[in-house]
Amino acid sequence: MTETLFLSSSAVADLASPTEYVDAVREGYRQRGNGASAQPRSKFFRADPEGMFTSYAAILPETGAMGGYMYSAGFGAADAWFMTPLFDAESGAPLALLDGASMNPHKTGAAGAVGVDKLARADADTLAVIGSGAQARGQLRATATVRDFADVRVYSPTPENREAFADDFDESLEASVRAVDSSAAAVTGADVVITATKASKPVFDGDDLEPGTHVTAMGQYSPDKRELDTTTVANATYVPDLRERATFDAGSFMRALEEGAITEDHIHAELGEIVAGNASGRTSDDEITVFDSGGTGIETVAAAYLLYERARDEGRGTEIDFAPASEALTGD
């Protein structure tokens, strides 16, 4: 038997700051850039009741951990559950099982922030956020740790939601955070644009981007999800979290391919290659850059291990027993 730590969502909710999430995820992508294993998500669908079951994984050898996400969304309960199994990368033994719901916006936001840190101009101080849900909040919290923003504009279709978002962050950030009434008003003149939506159509016009803008898009992890138009993709230095994912489920990139505006060679590099110093990031102040962040096991394992270590040090969680196969497989 081996003792494995079960961590509830509430047990890990306050264990790490946005900066700590960003540091852990940056290190995970550095390892990926040097050859650590990760693959795009697998998706399984059911029509009745309608739902999706998803999984993805990664090994971070220098962190000493491996694992990923398994989650369900929809089905009869019309809800979602996120389970994160975490294993020791040396022994293979299970370290922890996390309820991954509360860490989701933090680790995804951290991946977006690493993209901003590596691809946005160093002097970027104006941010546009398209979306006002939990993921948009996670993106802003994390991204605010890598750039000193003075002006943050948020747009989402529901006025009450964008106003509430702006009010909350205007109190907690040093930047001026305000709601605007269109995506064009948010994007025009912005140095950094973050999209965190469930959109199936582009959420802004690529012609509204100024030279030198960086875009992080985190809501386009399915062929039918498309936050960016072809103009944006074609005009940008395009960086996905995983190269393989760009042609597997990155909806905006796939649409630009279908329209003949780009070829697969338009992929500049994976984010990890840039973090590891094995590929260039931004090369000029006028360059438009895109980080396509569809979600990987890299940020999931990096964040989960951070939380596991903190929880263990603080005595949080519940020990559960796992039997190794040598004991459990009796051959009967």
Mean pLDDT, residues 322-327: 86
Q: Is the pLDDT of residue 144 over 90?
A: yes
Token digits for 181?
């009434």
Are residues 37 and 186 both part of a single domain?
A: no
Tell me, yes or no, whether 149 and 283 share the same domain. yes
Convert the pLDDT of each residue in 44-103 to its tens digit. 999 999 999 999 999 999 999 999 999 999 999 899 999 999 999 999 999 999 999 999
Measured between alpha carbons, how far is 60 from 114 in angstroms, rounded to an integer? 17
**Cβ contacts of 55 within 8 Å, gap of 6 or more:** 41, 42, 68, 69, 70, 71
181 & 261 share domain: yes
Q: What pLDDT score does 331 carry?
A: 55
Quick check: is 313 in a domain?
yes
- Residues of the domain holding 249: 119-292
Do residues 137 and 283 share a domain? yes
Average pLDDT over residues 171-189: 96
92, 93, 95, 99 alpha-carbon torsion, rounded to 10°: 80
Identify whether residues 37 and 166 lie together within a single domain.
no
Phi and psi torsions of 153, nearest 5°: -115, 135
At 118 the pLDDT is 98
Are 148 and 256 within one domain?
yes
CATH number, domain with residue 20: 3.30.1780.10
- Does 111 fall in a domain? no
Same domain, residue pair 226 and 150 = yes
- pLDDT score for 326: 84
* CATH number for the domain that contains residue 230: 3.40.50.720
Q: Is residue 64 part of a domain?
A: yes
Residue 329's pLDDT is 79
* The dihedral sign for the CA sequence 233, 251, 186, 105: negative
Domain assignment present for 308:
yes
pTM exceeds 0.85, yes or no? yes
**Residue 62 counted as domain residue:** yes
Structural domain tally of the chain?
2
Stated as kind and residue range, the H or E segment containing 311 is helix 297-314
Residues 123 and 222 in one domain: yes
In a domain, 112, yes or no: no
Asked if the model's pLDDT at residue 332 lies above 60, the reply is: no
Does 211 lie in the same domain as 127?
Answer: yes
How, if at all, do strands 65-74 and 50-60 pair? antiparallel
pLDDT tens per residue across span 248-262 = 999 999 999 999 999
